[in-house]
Amino acid sequence: MAEGHSQNISSGQALLYLTDEQLRQGIEAMFFAYRGFTADPDRILEGLSYGRAHHRAIHFIHCAPGTTVNNLLAILGVTKQSLNRVLRTLIEDGLVKSHVGRIDKRERHLTLTEAGEALEQQLSDAQRARMRDAYRKAGPEAVAGFKTVLEAMMDDEMKRAYVALRDGR
Amino acid sequence: MAEGHSQNISSGQALLYLTDEQLRQGIEAMFFAYRGFTADPDRILEGLSYGRAHHRAIHFIHCAPGTTVNNLLAILGVTKQSLNRVLRTLIEDGLVKSHVGRIDKRERHLTLTEAGEALEQQLSDAQRARMRDAYRKAGPEAVAGFKTVLEAMMDDEMKRAYVALRDGR
DNA sequence: TTGGAATGTCAACAAGACTGACGTATTTTC
DNA sequence: GAAAATACGTCAGTCTTGTTGACATTCCAA
């Protein structure tokens, strides 16, 4: 493949961070870091017969209370049937409440109950603790770089969702 | 939870990047970026009746040719039954070869066939292309910060595996 | 007012992870 | 040399989480 060699010798040192080796390292760092990133919430959810999908739903309902199923679908990038199964158990277990829309009765608006908020706190405390440690170790400049690269790595759609969430608070 | 408020007012601006809001943004950035990160290989594998699990196996066999099953298990963090299913199909399809160990005949050493290397190239070209774009947009300093934070985010075990792979080349 | 579009639910199925148990070959240890 | 440990493969069963297809309800626009 023509893309294989990204080492542009002629431009010297400046592009050294774009070598295939460097990129491969970045790929592996991303893989291992993501494992660490999800490890703590996974451990908490393990005993509760919930999984990562439940965590994601809870996280985004917490961030955007009153959001509709369709809305959540777009953010999570799964089919509505898949999300529905997760939501059903969360509603049955009294962690999420679903309200029929006043303006459009087809819509269901989702919010966390008190128990839901409590679990969200527990999960996000664990995840933030790891994040905080990593940030502290790395320092503010590294954190800025971290975010810059992550944003550049997103699909455009995802970036829109991310920016909307980020700036909407 | 006592951890809830990480804003340490008394230390002023210096720790502003450690606020819960900032951490939450980082968590979401990680979530969305990882989706982008896996999107391209996923698309390629979709048609081939392979999944992300096959991709991971191929990736690490490529990086560490001759690695044993146990070794791969530790890196991937899955059970042997789970890995075996994937490996079996890859061997049947002629992408991976398994050799009985010369020194220890209990071990199976795994390598990619030519066809396996070709698929690896195709997959990693796609992933590197996205990575390269992100790196280029972000610039070398951001990339350095990115890696620093990711390494700090790994579990210690994972970090060892990462460092071993990184420095072993 | 009626037919299409949008929203959400139920049912059935597949991939991929897990546990547990078992078998085999080989190496290590006592 | 016998017993224990290790490396690998496999069968069976379960769980989470993704998929498609079919369907009910509601809204809106022709």
Tell if B102 CB is < 7 Å from nucleic strand C: no
Query: Domain for residue A168, yes or no?
Result: no
Whether the per-residue pLDDT at A142 is higher than 70: the answer is yes
**Closest Cα in chain A, distance from residue B154 (Å):** 5
Domain for residue A167, yes or no? no
Question: Is residue A4 one of the residues assigned to a domain?
Answer: no
Residues 54-73 of A with CB under 7 A from strand D: 54
The answer to whether strand D lies under 7 Å from the CB of residue A102 is no
Query: Within a domain: residue A84?
Result: yes
Q: Is residue A63 part of a domain?
A: yes
Nucleotide nearest to A45 (CA to C1'): D16
For chain A, what is the domain count? Answer: 1
B52 lies in which domain range?
Answer: 18-138
CA–CA distance from B134 to each of A126, A155, B6, B52, B111 (Å)? 29, 11, 30, 22, 31
Please judge whether A33 and B154 are an interchain contact, meaning their C-beta atoms are less than 8 angstroms apart: yes
Phi then psi for residue B155, to 5 deg, are -65, 155
What are the backbone dihedrals phi and psi of residue B19, each rounded to the nearest 5 degrees, phi first?
A: -70, 155
Nearest CA in chain A to B158: A32
| Three-point CA angle B110, B67, A19, nearest 5° | 105
Taking the CA of residue A104 and the C1' sugar atom of nucleotide C15, their distance in angstroms comes to: 37
Lookup result for tokens 């791969």: B72
Within a domain: A108 = yes
- CATH number (domain holding residue A21): 1.10.10.10
For residue B43, tell me if it sits in a domain. Answer: yes
ipTM of the complex model: 0.87
In a domain, A155, yes or no: no
CB within 8 Å of chain A, chain B residues 3-32:
3-4, 6, 14, 16-18, 20-32
In angstroms, the CA of B116 and the C1' of C26 are apart by 29
Q: What is the pLDDT along chain B (169 residues), one digit of tens a residue?
A: 444 444 444 555 567 788 999 999 999 999 999 999 999 999 999 878 899 999 999 999 999 999 999 999 999 999 999 999 999 999 999 999 999 999 999 999 999 999 999 999 999 999 999 999 999 999 999 999 999 999 999 988 888 888 888 887 6
- Separation of A148 CA and D3 C1' (Å): 59
pTM score: 0.88
Nearest-CA residue relative to C1' of C28: B104
